[in-house]
């Protein structure tokens, strides 16, 4: 049976999702969080391809997994609920398989490394606090739906409502919209006392790290949805690495 390395499996570029009939508009707002909550945005240079290879290159190259190629182009996208379906079809199952393969290989070392096996799922697979439900969750395998912690909450957006370049826009409304989405993810991370989180759109993955409980964040360089190939960062590899960070029992949490 044909296999490939886990690194090759996760380095595949995601197929572009065509869009039709999209309508620009504001992102989710709530009295519990606001753009003003974000007090500082720093870079996160350690969230990078070289860091992943330095830390997990041996595992990624030695672990073998069956290929799961994209066999047909995705159907068009026009709203956020449909993007949730595309995320499930194109991304979530592959990241889940990649994490499972990696943890199987690491099984003898998990206790020494202080790692828990985690997987990725919808936000409802973890504890729901005050009715707030992130779009995605990294959770410990086998954890209770009602009490399991979301170790790295994720929020799904569509590119015509949010993009990372809004941070540098001349338009103050764009800058605020950029921070509004960061504030939403920051709120989820605070609820679950998680250090890491992410925003994923049909155009890019943006990984986020909470530096403290006062709205200071580190934001990684965005990974384009279509990025991939040998030696290149991909969305699948970025999410896999977020899962490995979430697996660190002594480091995933920030109180």
**Quick check: 28 pLDDT over 80?**
no
Instruction: Write phi, then psi, for 149 (nearest 5 degrees).
Output: -90, 140
**Quick check: 29 pLDDT over 80?**
no
pLDDT value, residue 249? 97
Q: What is the pLDDT of residues 109-125, one digit of tens each?
A: 999 999 999 999 998 88
CB 14 within 8 Å of CB 236: yes
pLDDT value, residue 94? 97
pLDDT value, residue 22? 83
**Quick check: 99 pLDDT over 90?**
yes
CB 178 within 8 Å of CB 139: no
Q: What is the pLDDT of residues 61-76, one digit of tens each?
A: 999 999 999 988 999 9
Instruction: Write phi, then psi, for 95 (nearest 5 degrees).
Output: -65, -40
Q: Of 144 and 97, which is predicted with more confidence?
A: 97
CB 17 within 8 Å of CB 86: yes
- Environment class of residue 159 by beta-carbon count within 10 Å: exposed (0-12), middle (13-18) or buried (19+)? middle
CB 181 within 8 Å of CB 200: no
Which residues in the chain belong to E strands, given as ranges?
A: 4-5, 40-43, 64-65, 118-122, 136-140, 154-156, 196-200, 204-210, 216-219, 223-224
> Which residues does 138 contact at the CB level (< 8 Å), separation at least 6?
118, 119, 120, 150, 151, 152, 154, 242, 243, 246
**Quick check: 1 pLDDT over 80?**
no
Instruction: Write phi, then psi, for 197 (nearest 5 degrees).
Output: -165, -175
Calculate mean pLDDT across residues 4-28.
90
Q: Which of 233, 177, 235 is nearest to 203 (CA)?
A: 235
pLDDT value, residue 189? 97
**Quick check: 215 pLDDT over 90?**
yes
CB 226 within 8 Å of CB 17: no
Please state, rounded to an integer, the average pLDDT across all residues of the chain: 94
Taking residue 214's Cβ as centre, other Cβ atoms within 10 Å add up to 9
Domain segments of the chain: what residues?
A: 4-13+45-66+77-246
Region of poorest pLDDT, from 19-33, 44-58, 166-180 = 19-33
* pLDDT category of residue 225 using cuts at 50, 70 and 90: very high
Q: What is the pLDDT of residues 137-182, one digit of tens each?
A: 999 999 888 888 999 999 999 999 999 999 999 999 999 999 999 9
Task: Report which secondary-structure segment, H or E, holds 242.
Answer: helix 235-246
pLDDT value, residue 27? 73
Q: What is the pLDDT of residues 180-196, one digit of tens each?
A: 999 999 999 999 999 99
pTM: 0.96
């Amino acid at each position: 049976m044909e296999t490939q390395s886990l690194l090759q499996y996760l380095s595949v570029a995601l197929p572009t999702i065509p869009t039709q009939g999209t309508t620009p508009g504001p992102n989710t707002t709530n009295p519990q969080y606001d753009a003003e909550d974000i007090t500082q945005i720093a870079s996160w240079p350690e969230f990078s391809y070289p860091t992943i290879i330095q830390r997990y290159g041996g595992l990624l190259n030695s672990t073998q997994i069956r290929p799961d190629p994209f066999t047909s182009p995705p159907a068009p996208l026009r709203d956020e609920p449909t993007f949730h379906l595309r995320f499930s079809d194109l991304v979530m199952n592959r990241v889940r398989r990649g994490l499972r393969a990696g943890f199987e290989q690491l099984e003898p070392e998990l206790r020494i490394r202080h790692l828990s096996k985690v997987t990725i799922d919808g936000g409802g697979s973890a504890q729901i606090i005050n009715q707030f439900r992130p779009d995605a969750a990294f959770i410990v395998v086998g954890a209770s739906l009602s009490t399991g912690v979301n170790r790295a909450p994720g929020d799904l957006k569509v590119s015509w409502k949010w993009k990372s370049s809004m941070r540098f826009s001349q338009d103050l409304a764009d800058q605020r919209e950029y921070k509004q989405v960061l504030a939403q993810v920051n709120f989820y991370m605070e609820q679950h006392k998680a250090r890491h989180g992410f925003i994923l759109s049909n155009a890019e993955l943006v990984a986020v790290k909470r530096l403290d409980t006062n709205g200071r964040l580190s934001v990684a360089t965005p990974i384009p949805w279509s990025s991939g190939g040998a030696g290149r960062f991909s969305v699948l590899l970025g999410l896999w690495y977020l899962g490995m960070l979430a697996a660190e029992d002594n480091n995933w949490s920030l109180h």
